[in-house]
């Protein structure tokens, strides 16, 4: 079992009941499980135009999540990635349609068109005034005529505009005309790093590691092509390149949709890249980033765009609504930057050069950069897998700062390194090393030789950080190494290595993230901070 489900055949009904139960009485479902699965507004006024949509499940929160004032009146839910039955759609129509009529918003898939279309015909036979709008916003398959294109996340723009007009009391002709206009004007394109996992079915692993698939469908259908993924910027540029052809020069609103498996951090970066992209100046408003029309757990995203030169459409998109899963439409504005508060502006040291010191620091930094992958692998055993990256990032920053540092004044140099690390090195290790170097600089200014000053720095770091020998930290390698410096660098290196290797035998960490890890996960794995110290001293001890 790799998913939090019970029986495969119950996943849709159980999910619906969860949504309805948590709605505070605002939602209800039509009796008829398991064949009829329809979520409806509990407060519906039949004097207004009903907006009904739906389709296969697995795209949550679409469509049941958007049932509420200002959006959908009812959502008809099929099995995962399967159209609901004609009877289910008809039940939804009949349950909410009064004299004002009903608009069906249907994504352009054969099953949905057939089942919703036949249900509409049967509803008309019951005397209901029913109109249907087909959404075909996907531009991923250029050889298909637009009328044959799939309906994907851009459907949500249609839901929002139609829902706002219906809530305002507009008649069916006005609502349907606006919905049709939005459906025709919306364009969407998506990509993913991986396919989705359909409950109860084997996962299709067709996308190799390091590749991304462009234009795949929200049911996991193969995309137009696979390309190597180099960065978020390149990924967004590929998507924008497809959309730009269809956008023209008007201002647009964009919807950035998480297909289910991308992290919030990734989606925020992608939003940044969208705003900075070649169409960024045309994006006046954004919806998201958010998981709105997902493909189960697909690790991907899609962008939908719609021109908002029509002020009425923009107003409808901005109208407040009840479903909380719909994020507000936000206006895009320049990033606001505030000045650093008084007292936190860094004191710039007076730079000076000293070639041997420059070469020494560069060599140490390059060693830590080269050890990035090894240290990350070690940290993955007992932490969050980023020790190597943290040290490498700080080393790159320190190399870049050499021209600004007082290389010929070791007292000021230690203080400057401490300041640089506090600004560029993340996590607790950055703070601790900043304390170490700052305290060492203070000690040399009071007359202590460098070897003793380094010990003073270690003492101060331990006082603030709380780590002692045997706590399974970098202290287990650094402390014995500094004790042996009076003898020779070789002795210091041997002591550092012995201390680092000793951490692999310790089954309890008393500091850092490793303190949350069980003994069987720690045994045999050297602490990454101690390993970094040992490698550094071993490098310095070379002839």
Active site residues: 219
Identify the helix (H) or strand (E) that includes residue 29. strand 27-29
The rounded distance, in Å, linking the Cα atoms of 419 and 438 is: 7
Task: Please list, residue by residue across 211-232, b when 16 or more beta carbons sit within 10 angstroms of its beta carbon and e when fewer do.
Answer: ebbbbbbbbbeebbebeebeeb
Q: Which two tokens stand for residue 481?
A: 């190494």
The DSSP string of 229-248 is ---HHHHHHHHHHHHHHHHT
CA max distance for the chain: 99
The rounded distance, in Å, linking the Cα atoms of 462 and 471 is: 11
First vs last Cα of the chain: how many Å apart?
56
The DSSP string of 119-147 is HHHHHHHTT--EEEEEE--B-S-TTS-GG
Q: Check if the beta carbon of residue 287 is closer than 8 Å to that of residue 66.
A: no
The rounded distance, in Å, linking the Cα atoms of 145 and 139 is: 9
Phi-psi region of 295 (alpha: psi -120 to 50; beta: other; left: phi over 0): beta
Q: Check if the beta carbon of residue 386 is closer than 8 Å to that of residue 376.
A: yes
| CB atoms near residue 400 (< 10 Å) | 12
3-state secondary structure 287-324: EEEECCCCCCCECEEEEEEEECCCHHHHHHHHCCCCCC
Q: Which two tokens stand for residue 386?
A: 């980023």
Q: Residue 73, SS3?
A: coil
Contacts made by residues 63-66, CB under 8 angstroms, sequence distance 24+: 64/16, 64/19, 64/27, 64/39, 65/19, 65/323, 65/325, 66/156, 66/159, 66/323, 66/325, 66/326
Cβ neighbours of residue 51 under 8 Å, at least 6 residues apart?
71, 72, 73, 74, 102, 103, 105, 159, 162, 163, 166, 175
Residue with tokens 């929002």: 160
List of E strands, 163-282: 187-192, 211-214, 225-228, 252-258
The CA–CA distances, whole Å, from 492 to 180, 248, 483, 499 equal: 76, 67, 7, 10
> If you count them, how many residues does the chain have?
543
The rounded distance, in Å, linking the Cα atoms of 384 and 131 is: 54
Q: Which of 225, 213, 212, 219 is nearest to 196 (CA)?
A: 219
Cis bond before residue 63 (omega within 30° of 0): yes
């Amino acid at each position: 079992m790799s998913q939090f489900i019970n029986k495969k055949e119950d996943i849709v009904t159980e999910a619906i009941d969860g949504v309805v139960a948590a709605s505070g009485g605002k939602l209800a479902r039509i009796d008829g499980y398991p064949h009829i699965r329809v979520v409806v507004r509990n407060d519906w006024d039949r004097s207004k135009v009903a907006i009904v949509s739906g389709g296969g499940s697995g795209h949550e929160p679409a469509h049941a999540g958007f049932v509420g004032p200002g959006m959908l009146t009812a959502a008809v839910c099929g099995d995962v990635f399967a159209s609901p039955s004609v009877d289910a759609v008809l039940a939804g129509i009949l349950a909410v349609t009064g004299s004002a009529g009903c608009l069906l918003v249907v994504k352009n898939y054969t099953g949905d068109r057939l089942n919703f279309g036949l249900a509409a015909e049967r509803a008309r036979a019951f005397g209901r005034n029913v109109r249907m709008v087909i959404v075909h916003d996907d531009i991923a398959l250029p050889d298909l005529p637009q009328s044959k294109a799939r309906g994907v996340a851009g459907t949500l723009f249609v839901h929002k505009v139609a829902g706002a007009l219906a809530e305002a009391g507009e008649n069916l002709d006005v609502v349907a005309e606006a919905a049709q206009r939005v459906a025709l004007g919306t364009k969407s394109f998506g990509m993913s790093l991986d396919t989705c996992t359909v409950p109860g079915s084997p996962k299709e692993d067709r996308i190799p590691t390091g590749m991304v698939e462009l234009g795949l469908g929200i049911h996991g259908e193969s995309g137009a092509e696979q390309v190597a993924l180099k960065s978020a910027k390149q990924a967004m540029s590929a998507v924008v390149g497809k959309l730009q052809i269809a956008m023209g020069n008007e201002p647009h609103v964009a919807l950035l949709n998480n297909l289910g498996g991308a992290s919030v951090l990734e989606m925020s970066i992608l939003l940044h890249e969208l705003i900075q992209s070649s169409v960024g100046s045309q994006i006046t408003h954004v919806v998201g980033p958010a998981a709105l029309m997902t493909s189960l757990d697909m690790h991907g995203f899609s962008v939908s765009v719609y021109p908002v030169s029509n002020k009425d459409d923009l107003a409808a998109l901005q109208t407040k609504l009840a479903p909380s899963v719909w994020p507000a439409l936000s206006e895009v504005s320049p990033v606001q930057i505030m000045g650093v508060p008084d007292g936190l502006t860094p004191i710039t040291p007076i730079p000076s050069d000293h070639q041997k010191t420059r070469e020494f620091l560069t060599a140490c930094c390059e060693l830590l950069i080269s050890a990035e992958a090894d240290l990350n692998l070690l940290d993955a055993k007992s932490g969050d897998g980023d020790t190597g990256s943290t040290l490498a990032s700080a080393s790159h920053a320190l190399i870049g700062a050499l021209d600004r540092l007082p290389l010929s004044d070791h007292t000021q140099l230690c203080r400057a390194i401490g300041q640089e690390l506090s600004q560029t090195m993340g996590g607790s290790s950055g703070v601790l090393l900043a304390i170490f170097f700052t305290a060492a600089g203070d000690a040399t200014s009071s007359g202590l030789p460098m070897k003793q000053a380094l010990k003073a720095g270690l003492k101060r770091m331990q006082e603030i950080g709380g780590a002692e020998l045997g706590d399974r930290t970098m202290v287990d390698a650094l402390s014995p190494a500094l004790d042996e410096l009076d003898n020779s660098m070789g002795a210091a290196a041997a002591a550092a290595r012995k201390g680092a290797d000793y951490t692999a035998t310790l089954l309890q960490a008393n500091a850092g993230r490793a303190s949350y890890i069980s003994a069987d996960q720690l045994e045999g794995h050297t602490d990454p901070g101690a390993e970094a110290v040992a490698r550094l001293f071993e490098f310095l001890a070379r002839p």
